[in-house]
Amino acid sequence: MTEEQSLHHGRFLELVSLNGWEYVRRANSTTTVAVLALTEDDDLLFIEQFRPPIGAEVLELPAGLVGDDPGQEAEEITTAANRELEEETGFSARSLHVLGTFCSSAGLTDETTTICMALGCRQTGPGGGIGGESIRIHKIPRNEAASWLAERVKSGQLLDGKVWTALALAERTGFAVPIKD
């Protein structure tokens, strides 16, 4: 018998117990999307923002929730990917390709993440996020991305795991994004 119990319900998150296993789920979405974006000028786009749970700046891919706005629950993954790309970087993709889906943290949350590859991105707005977000945008030449990321890690910069996952998925699926020097 499956017995689910809500332990705490906040504005955005709910703590749930399922047969004694405690985990977190979002109140408004169980799916996120992250975007590995390649511009028309052959630059990769990364973002950097302060993340309160770890108290530090984190280097990430443009990413966000899928279908989190009321009335948008059935939002397509690629629609959400382009929306998040535009909001966070100010770039829009010519084409989007799903690279893969994975569990974000299977012991902690029911959330899944889909990685998309955005090609032919061009600037259409300012980026920087919405609603009080303070996002810095990094445009890094594709052929320098591996060494740039390695230098960031060496200097103590925290990188979100989706960066490495996206680069590995891109390489596995045949997109020419080098992940080694």
Q: CATH says 29-172 is which class?
A: alpha beta
- Determine the Cα–Cα distance for residues 60 and 162; give it in Å rounded to an integer: 7
User: At which residue do the structure tokens 């609603």 appear?
Assistant: 131
Token pair of 44, please? Answer: 């990769």
Model's pTM, two decimal places? Answer: 0.90
Three-class SS state of 88: helix
Backbone φ and ψ for 33, nearest 5 degrees, come out as -130, 145
Question: Over its length of 181 residues, how does the chain's per-residue pLDDT go in tens digits?
Answer: 678 899 999 988 999 999 999 999 988 877 899 999 999 999 999 999 999 999 999 999 999 999 876 667 678 999 999 999 999 999 999 999 999 999 989 999 999 999 999 999 999 998 888 877 889 999 999 989 989 999 999 999 999 999 999 998 998 887 766 555 4
Parse the chain into domains and list their residue ranges: 29-172
Query: Whose CA is closest to 34, among 89, 94, 72, 74?
Result: 89
